[in-house]
């Protein structure tokens, strides 16, 4: 299998010019979350690294930064998983099959899953944060023999909000991924775990001395998860987080995503906790 993730497509000479992609399929994942499968109008596939994002635009409405949620190790459509929460995302998910969207990128840093080779890979995520982590998981299972234990600790609001249920079952049954799902609120007939995803970390079966953690979700969840991982003994330079707060232009010009000296759209979105810890512990940065 060709390692496509090792060859991300270079950004166009002018990163402000979008490429045209046609909507081939829209899949409804949960009540408010959809995955778009896009094919390039010019026939040239977008090469990307797990963790990168694009600026995805609906003509006449606007554009938003959306992490790529597809498989970087295989040919196939460009996938973006989107929560319908505003005018632009609404226009994106309502684009009919055959409709054309604008795509700029890919932008930003990646998960760098090779850091975990030879040790345990621990994925900690909440809500739609599983979407940016999905390419990293696909990358790891494509080279499963390079890793020891692989764990996915996933928290959702309710059982109905669990993303990629088919993938969760497949990763567990076919690739020996240890999947633990917890929900904030479960119905009376729910027999699974109830609680925050951070509560799974102290009991998770990984070797902290040989573990690399990949964390994505709401910022407060990432902060508490990173601290719980530290408490388990995982070193800060082996904890990687995806910070996507307030990204807007994708090229570090508008300043919306500035976090002290960092511009998250170009310095991130994926960064080591050793660099983020002093920034995440302060308010108003």
Tens of pLDDT, residues 59-79 = 999 999 999 999 999 899 999
Q: How many Cα atoms are found within 13 Å in the side-chain-facing hemisphere of 136? A: 36
Assign 248 a pLDDT band (cuts: 50, 70, 90). confident
| Reported confidence tier of residue 283, pLDDT bands at 50, 70, 90 | low
Give the span between the Cα atoms of 243 and 53, in whole angstroms.
Answer: 12
Contact indicator for 21, 38 with CB cutoff of 8 Å: yes
Residue 5 has pLDDT above 70, yes or no: no
Residue pointed to by tokens 């530290």: 230
* pLDDT value, residue 245: 76
- Kindly state the average pLDDT of the residues 44-68: 95
H, E, C per residue of the chain? CCCHHHCCCCCCCCCCCCEEEEEEEEEECCCCEEEEEEEECCCCCCCCCCCCEEEEEECCCEEEEEEECCCCCCCCCEEEEEECCCHHHHHHHCCCCCCEEEEEEEECCCCCHHHHCCCEEEEEEEHHHHHHHHHHHHHHHHCHHHCCCEEEEEEECCHHHCCCHHHHHHHHHHHCEEEEEEECCCCCCCCCEECCHHHHCCCCCCCHHHEEEEEECCHHHHHHHHHHHHHHCCCHHHEEEECCCCCCCCCCCCCCCEECCEEHHHHCCEEEHHHHHHHHCCCCC
pTM: 0.92
- Res 169: pLDDT: 96
Residues whose CB falls within 8 Å of the CB of residue 6, separated by 6 or more in sequence, listed in order? none
Question: Which tens digits make up the pLDDT trace of 91-128?
Answer: 999 999 999 999 999 999 999 999 999 999 999 999 99
- Report whether pLDDT(9) > 60: no
220: CB partners within 8 A, 6+ apart:
none
Give the pLDDT band of residue 280 (cuts 50, 70, 90): confident
pLDDT band at 282 (very low <50, low <70, confident <90, very high): low
Closest CA to 283 of 230, 214, 223: 223
Which pLDDT band, with edges at 50, 70 and 90, does 230 fall under?
very high
Least Cα distance to 9 among 150, 100, 105, 130 occurs for 105
Which CATH class, in words, describes the domain spanning 113-242?
alpha beta
In the predicted structure, residue 21 carries a pLDDT above the cut 60: yes
Q: Give residues with Cβ within 8 angstroms of 60, minimum separation 6.
A: none
Domain boundary assignment for the chain: 4-107, 113-242
pLDDT at 3 over 50: no
Sheet holding 100-107, edge to edge: 62-67, 53-58, 100-107, 19-28, 33-40, 78-83
Predicted pLDDT at 16: 79
pLDDT digits (tens, 9 = 90+) for 122-153: 999 999 999 999 999 999 999 999 999 999 99
Token readout for 172 is 């567990």
Given a cut of 80, is residue 1 above it in pLDDT?
no
How many CB atoms lie under 10 A from the CB of residue 130?
Answer: 25
d(CA 144, CA 116): 11
- What is the rounded distance in angstroms from the CA atom of residue 239 to the CA atom of residue 257? 21
Confidence label for 11 from pLDDT (cuts 50, 70 and 90): very low
- Domain 4-107 bears CATH identifier 2.40.30.10: yes
């Amino acid at each position: 299998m060709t390692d496509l993730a090792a060859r991300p497509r270079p950004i166009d000479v002018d990163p402000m010019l979008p490429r045209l992609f046609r909507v081939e399929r829209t899949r409804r994942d949960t009540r408010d979350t959809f995955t778009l499968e896009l094919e390039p109008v010019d026939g040239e596939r977008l090469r990307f690294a797990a963790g990168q994002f694009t600026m995805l635009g609906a003509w006449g409405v606007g554009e938003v930064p959306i992490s790529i949620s597809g498989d970087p190790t295989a040919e196939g459509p460009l996938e973006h998983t989107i929560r319908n929460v505003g005018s632009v995302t609404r226009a994106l998910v309502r684009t009919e099959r055959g409709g054309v969207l604008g795509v700029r990128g890919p932008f930003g840093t990646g998960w760098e899953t090779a850091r975990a080779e030879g040790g345990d890979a621990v994925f900690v995520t909440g809500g739609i944060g599983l979407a940016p982590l999905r390419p990293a998981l696909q990358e790891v299972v494509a080279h499963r023999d390079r890793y020891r234990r692989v764990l996915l600790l996933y928290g959702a609001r309710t059982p109905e909000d669990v993303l990629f249920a088919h993938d969760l079952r497949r990763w567990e049954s076919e690739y020996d991924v240890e999947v633990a799902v917890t929900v904030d609120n479960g119905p009376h007939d729910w027999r699974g775990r109830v609680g925050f995803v951070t509560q799974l970390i102290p009991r998770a079966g990984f070797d902290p001395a040989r573990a690399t953690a990949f964390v994505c979700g709401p910022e407060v969840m990432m902060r508490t998860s990173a601290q719980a991982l530290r408490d388990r003994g995982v070193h800060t330079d082996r904890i990687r987080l995806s910070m996507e707060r307030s990204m807007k232009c994708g090229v570090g010009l508008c300043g919306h995503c500035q976090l002290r000296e960092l511009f998250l759209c170009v310095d991130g979105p994926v960064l080591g906790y050793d660099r983020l810890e002093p920034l995440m512990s302060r308010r108003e940065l």
